[in-house]
Amino acid sequence: RCNVCGWRGRSFLSDSWHPHTICARCGSQVRHRLLFATLQTHPELNFEQLACGKRILHFAPERFFPRHLRSKAAKYVTADFVKKYSLDLQLDMCDMGSVADASFDLVIACDVLEHVPSDVVALQELNRVLAPNGWAILTVPQVDNMPTKREDPTITTPAAREAAFGQVDHLRIYGDDFPTIVESQGFRVTTIDADSFPPELIEESVLFPPVLSNKPLATNYSKVFFAQKTK
């Protein structure tokens, strides 16, 4: 059962990275269902605390997200570097000069930071546009058991980026130090993974891949990072 859209079936669909992890109706992946499981069940990091009555900025929103958030938020703004038809703003996460300080209570950016020219500058900008004690919800591709982020500005061709970072438009791929990177820019990070939930929910909503990928750049152990602004 998909905990995002409610679809039920014998198994989820597969992609090139993992079998049986994609919802047949809404297309949610493991990281999305981890995020929703947190917002649905966590005693502190839930819809009521983080979204209801809040000002939300959502980068590159997946198509199934807005309907869950727009009705709860006091203000819900969607954005991307390339403005698509249904989005509110064309916005560079590294240079949000059109957005005033402390304009939002929550920023969501799932698998966005690997695309931006500088993830550190982007995190600084996220911190700036967040109100005091505001939150950012972040996911990134992470190589299993890799200690530190892999980044090399000399890698510029699509083929080389795919080989090094897993996708032609990725500029980096992350390791276990991602929470430290975020915390260095004025956040306190809470990490959520499948172990944060009871076994029956993990199995029912596929919060962990039923078959681990043997690809060297695969993210088998998906995590969602809830980062609260501290300064």
* 29-77 pLDDT per residue, tens: 999 999 999 999 999 999 999 999 999 999 999 988 898 999 999 999 9
- For residue 108, give both structure tokens: 């969501």
Prediction pTM value? 0.96
Q: Tell me how long the chain is.
A: 231
Contact between residue 205 and residue 33 where contact means Cβ atoms under 8 Å apart = yes
For residue range 125-162, what is the model confidence (pLDDT) as tens digits? 999 999 999 999 999 999 999 999 999 999 999 999 99
Percent of the chain with pLDDT over 70: 99
Whole-number Cα distances in Å, 77 to 44, 87, 94: 23, 8, 17
- Quick one: which of 95, 94, 119, 107 has its CA closest to 59? 107
pLDDT band, very low/low/confident/very high, at 82 (cuts 50, 70, 90) = confident
Half-sphere exposure of 39 toward its Cβ, with a 13 Å CA cutoff? 24
The DSSP code for 194 is G
Contact between residue 90 and residue 116 where contact means Cβ atoms under 8 Å apart = no
- DSSP E strands, 14-129: 55-59, 75-80, 89-90, 104-110
